[in-house]
Amino acid sequence: MKIWMIGLLLFISCAFHMDSASGRAEAIFQQPYYTAAWDSGGNLRLLDRSGKEILRSVQYLAEYGDLYNLLVPQIPAGTSKIKLDAKPVIPAGAAIEIRSESFGGRQNAPLVHQAKVTQVQGDELSFAPPLTKAMDTNLFIKWNGTVVRNYQKAAVHVERKPEGLLLRTVGETPVAEIETEYFFHQQKPTVEVQVKTTYKQQTKVFREALGLQFAPKVSEVYRKNRKSDTRAFQKHYWLDREGVRFGQGQQTALLYHTPHISSLELDTGQNQLLVNLDHMGEHRYVEQISGRQVGKVRHASEYKPLEQRINRFTLVVGYQPGVVPRLMLQPHGYLATHVWTEHADEQTLASNRAVYYGSERITSPDKAVGGFVRYGIPVTKSVFFANPYYRPERPLHVAISESPEFLQFLKDLHKRGTEIGLHTVYPYDLYLYGGVADDALSFMKKEFQSVTWIDHGYVKSSFGFQGLNVHTPSYLADYWQKHGTRYFWHYSSEDGTNINRSFDLLQTRLGDGKRTPLYWSHPTVTGPFYSWAAAIVPDDTVYVYHDQNLQRLVQDRGVLINHVYPARVPANKKSSAFLTRDRQGALVVQPGFDQILKKMAGLRDQKKLYLTTVRDIMNYWLALEQVRMEVQPDGSVHVYNDGPTKISGLSMAVRSAQIYVNGKKPPQKKDQGDLIFWFDLEAGARAVITPGPAVHSSN
């Protein structure tokens, strides 16, 4: 349907006028809350009932290119020629970046050297100026080959629907076709947006985004830690998939809870919101080649011709709801989250009993005098399934197959809430037969309902090495999927933070600008599996668990998933940060560490710090992706559980003196100006949230 036929044939609320600024004829759709206007190029504007602008423009942005890896652990200062893993298709004179984004927080502060290509010979690339400092760890070249700042051409289609009007724009770029649908509800203050991207060629996506330019200023920011800012705004926010409100009253636009995009970024000074449809920094994966320093960086999505991706989000326009409940990152009214994750290296049954029960002499969890079990703190504990080199006289790397006592110990922990998963199958890089992997994963599922896997060193059958590579004999993805293993730690899990700089994966202490996803599923490389972020806490840095950091974690509503070795036998045979020996030489829990656990248990008992496992927090976060929120014209907010399972203790925060769920006051408490409340939401159910006691059905 041509744009000039809309007013006559499709909808009586459509009209035309000449936009004096652009000189283009605009079609208009009017409804009670806003007016939508667009021209033949698909340029969209939204105005309030009095004609004041709300949304000024929507711009499409994209960056594509190639990544080339240096298969060496480091390069020295002065380097001006490097050898890559493939012949680079980069023209002389092109601008490039030499990057290292792996480990210790480098993902947000990469070691970048900017240069221009001077010559390409085979797989060797020369550049200038040369490096001014040495670089190391998973080095790669990033070349932005194609930068898109709008469509080459666009077509517009309009379709009348029973509940409103559908505007569809189809934009063309050198790389993809982008079909954007805007559904304008006739009687609701919403605009539903769907973007379908179809690729024309083999493509590596660095970023694809919609840039939304608003007329009114930012009035409320829904931050990634689930707090909200209403004044003293930061210049730039990475919002994860939370949201923002511009303006107030009828000249307002609101975006909140966007699980079907990659992320949101906000420039408060420019009143600009970037809706990232895909961003390579938000699904990191390096396929390691040798150790953790050399690998193939595969952060970018890798699409083939005719492959598609669909993104969706909803704008509330021309209406300011009385309350905007925010989904908390932890259930049941807790304020912050902590997860202990244990890597299984160099453990014995005795060292495990010491750190979980308080002493190696204690064999029953019911008699624990210290450690994790004494304080009821669950752990995501990784174990080896088998160790062919295990000997009772040298019992390091204790494994399930060789020690029935260890297996019983694990069963006892599992009954008390500890999560048990594999730290690969063997502690060494032994060839893993498919049948052995199948049996091991089947056993873990049957005995422990295992869903989590933690990679171990350089073992080819790891997630971060060859476990996803179907062209190698170490491929395990089919077995992981068969047995329900979903959540993975690998080296790229720790690119985002450094425990010495931040005791919080969200890193909000110095502002919200850093890109800090807590978990991710790579759109094209890692299949149906999820990675979770973590921070390594080496033995000599356990001091970071002091009172001030624990209180700040709660104050900032932060999240910390750590990577520790509490049951590792002390290297000097006497003591570590987690273990020591009593006068008789028996391993016992280190008193200082025991006090840390006691303090954390105290914060948990005060409903401040949620102590949980990777399995449980990942299940909760993924359940939040199935939550749908709709702002209603009567001032209520409807919350739907579109997922297949009940959400227990669904926790929300709101700036309101009181709150009601389905006409009743839920469990609630106050914190830093927010009212935190929580309730259960059955699969397929709806909850009606109101600031007053009006009764609504939850069916």
CATH 2.40.30 maps onto the chain at: 66-148
Confidence of residue 694 (pLDDT cuts 50, 70, 90): low
pLDDT at residue 216 greater than cutoff 90: yes
For residues 698 and 428, give the distance between their C-alpha atoms in angstroms, rounded to a whole number: 54
Residue 205 is predicted with a pLDDT of 98
Lowest mean pLDDT among 180-184, 350-354, 568-572: 568-572
Residue 16 is predicted with a pLDDT of 45
For residues 252 and 55, give the distance between their C-alpha atoms in angstroms, rounded to a whole number: 9
3-state SS, residue 362: coil
Residue 53 is predicted with a pLDDT of 98
Residue 24 is predicted with a pLDDT of 59
- Output the six-digit token pair for 213: 């330019």
- 85-92: Cβ within 8 A, 24+ apart: 85/123, 85/296, 86/123, 87/120, 87/122, 87/123, 88/120, 88/123, 88/125, 88/141, 88/143, 90/66, 90/117, 90/120, 90/125, 90/141, 90/143, 90/145, 91/117, 92/117, 92/118, 92/119, 92/120
Residue 1 is predicted with a pLDDT of 35
Confidence of residue 12 (pLDDT cuts 50, 70, 90): very low
C-alpha triplet 320, 321, 327: angle, nearest 5°: 125
Could you give the residue ranges of the DSSP H alpha helices within 449-590?
477-482, 547-555
C-alpha triplet 412, 417, 418: angle, nearest 5°: 75
Question: Which pTM does this prediction carry?
Answer: 0.95
The residue assigned the tokens 């999820």 is 530
Tell me the pLDDT tens digit for each residue of 424-477: 999 999 999 999 999 999 999 999 999 999 999 999 999 999 999 999 999 999
- Output the six-digit token pair for 372: 């994790």
Confidence of residue 5 (pLDDT cuts 50, 70, 90): very low
The residue assigned the tokens 């895909």 is 278
For residues 300 and 289, give the distance between their C-alpha atoms in angstroms, rounded to a whole number: 18
Q: Are 171 and 35 in contact (CB under 8 A)?
A: no
CATH 3.20.20 maps onto the chain at: 336-606
The residues pairing with 146 across neighbouring beta strands, listed in sequence order, are 64
pLDDT at residue 19 greater than cutoff 60: no
Q: Please state which CATH number belongs to domain 66-148.
A: 2.40.30
pLDDT at residue 22 greater than cutoff 70: no
Confidence of residue 9 (pLDDT cuts 50, 70, 90): very low
Confidence of residue 329 (pLDDT cuts 50, 70, 90): very high
Residue 93 is predicted with a pLDDT of 97
pLDDT at residue 649 greater than cutoff 50: yes
Confidence of residue 198 (pLDDT cuts 50, 70, 90): very high
In this predicted model, which residue has the larger pLDDT, 526 or 19? 526
CA distances from 268 to 100, 201, 216 (A): 30, 36, 11
DSSP one-letter code for 665: P
Q: Which fold has domain 336-606?
A: TIM Barrel (3.20.20)
CA distances from 152 to 168, 207, 309 (A): 16, 18, 20
Q: Taking all residues of the chain, what is their mean pLDDT, rounded to a whole number?
A: 94
